[in-house]
Amino acid sequence: MEAAESALIEAVEVSAGYDNRRERTRLIALRDISLTVRRGEFLAIVGPSGCGKTTLINMIAGFVQPLSGTIKVRGMGVDGPGSDRAMVFQDYALLPWRTVERNVEFAVENRRGRVPKQDRERRIAEALALVGLAGFERSFPHELSGGMRQRVGIARALVGEPEILLMDEPFGAVDAMTREAMQAELEKIIAKTGQTVLFITHSIDEAITLGDRIVVISNRPGTIQEIIEVNLPRPRFDERNDVRRSARFGEIRAHLWGLLSGEALGAKSISGGPA
């Protein structure tokens, strides 16, 4: 683990679980997770379904408290949600009766330290422009494609200007071509904003293409199986230098597939097996 002063997020021997009151049992989702996330890093998280990936970022978001261990952001313990962290969900989570701009505004309208109306409108316009939705401000969610609805979700996360983006399979519900286009757009957005990203995915290729490092979590109870340094140049979506055709990409892909394809690790939940 890196020195504390270089860490934006620190998880130290964190365990998490859920109680089943009816059966008087406890399900342990994660066990003894220790992890440091560097400022400005794009950290991809992979692992079989049910291994605790979402629980991990929910703890960082402050939605779930660990059973043991500590989670810190900028050296301060996480005891609840904060405006320095924003979540992007797989299922869009948009309010159907609100327009695009009003859905984006929702992220800042009820936060502590009310944002003045003029500043709020500026932020909304900038966030929508950043995700390519300028001109769709007054559209409603049902009028948008799946990819556009997810762009609204990303704009909503960006409008509060958080330091950390927590993304839970944000492109899992869109088609393959839209997914690749949104990966490229996300890389451009993060290059501009400099935010720290924790990104859950079931796609090995997506993890390699987007991540600076990849955290591999084992089957439940989830533990960190390995952390892989990607070491591929950016931008990753460059027709002149397609990193997906590089030897390094192939090496990481094969290694990840080997880690995740064992029967004990629920290989059916992982996409992107050897061609």
DSSP state of 142: G
Alpha-carbon distances, residue 191 vs 100, 116, 243, 244, 270 (angstroms): 24, 27, 17, 19, 28
Q: How confident is the model at residue 66 (pLDDT cuts 50, 70, 90)?
A: very high
Predicted confidence (pLDDT) per residue in 231-248, tens digit? 999 999 887 778 988 999
pTM recorded for the entire structure: 0.89
Question: Is the pLDDT confidence value at 114 over 60?
Answer: yes
Report whether 166 contacts 87 (CB < 8 A).
Answer: yes
Q: What is the pLDDT of residue 2?
A: 45
Question: Which run of H or of E encompasses 12?
Answer: strand 7-20
On average, the pLDDT of the chain sits at: 89
Q: Per the structure block, which two tokens stand in for 233?
A: 């140049």
Q: How confident is the model at residue 111 (pLDDT cuts 50, 70, 90)?
A: low
Report the alpha-carbon distance of residue 214 to residue 212 in Å, rounded: 7
In degrees, rounded to 5, the angle at the alpha carbon of residue 93 between the alpha carbons of residues 88 and 97 is 140
Predicted confidence (pLDDT) per residue in 5-43, tens digit? 578 999 999 999 987 777 667 789 999 999 999 999 999
Q: Which residues 6+ apart lie within 8 Å of 227 measured at CB? A: 35, 213, 214, 215, 216
Q: How confident is the model at residue 108 (pLDDT cuts 50, 70, 90)?
A: confident
Percent of the chain past pLDDT 90, that is, above it, reads 71
Question: Is the pLDDT confidence value at 274 over 90?
Answer: no
Q: Which residue has the higher pLDDT, 25 or 96?
A: 96
Domain 38-66+77-83+164-175+185-275 adopts which CATH fold?
Answer: Rossmann fold (3.40.50)
Q: How confident is the model at residue 264 (pLDDT cuts 50, 70, 90)?
A: very low
Q: Which residues 6+ apart lie within 8 Å of 198 measured at CB? A: 9, 37, 43, 45, 57, 60, 164, 165, 166, 167
Predicted confidence (pLDDT) per residue in 122-177, tens digit? 999 999 999 999 999 999 999 999 999 999 999 999 998 999 999 999 998 888 89
Q: Which residues 6+ apart lie within 8 Å of 80 measured at CB? A: 62
Mean pLDDT throughout 107-136?
Answer: 85
Side chain identity at residue 209, one-letter code: T
In sequence order, the β-bridge partners of residue 196 are: 164
Provide CATH 3.40.50.300 ranges for the chain. Answer: 38-66+77-83+164-175+185-275
Sheet holding 224-229, edge to edge: 85-88, 164-168, 196-200, 42-46, 213-217, 224-229
Question: Is the pLDDT confidence value at 267 over 90?
Answer: no
Q: How confident is the model at residue 44 (pLDDT cuts 50, 70, 90)?
A: very high
Q: Which residue has the higher pLDDT, 119 or 1?
A: 119
Question: Which run of H or of E encompasses 58?
Answer: helix 53-61
Q: Which of 50, 46, 74 is nearest to 60 (CA)?
A: 74
Side chain identity at residue 130, one-letter code: L
Residue reference for tokens 């003894």: 32
Choose the weakest-confidence range: 76-80, 196-200, 221-225, 267-271.
267-271
Q: How confident is the model at residue 275 (pLDDT cuts 50, 70, 90)?
A: very low
Report the alpha-carbon distance of residue 165 to residue 154 in Å, rounded: 9
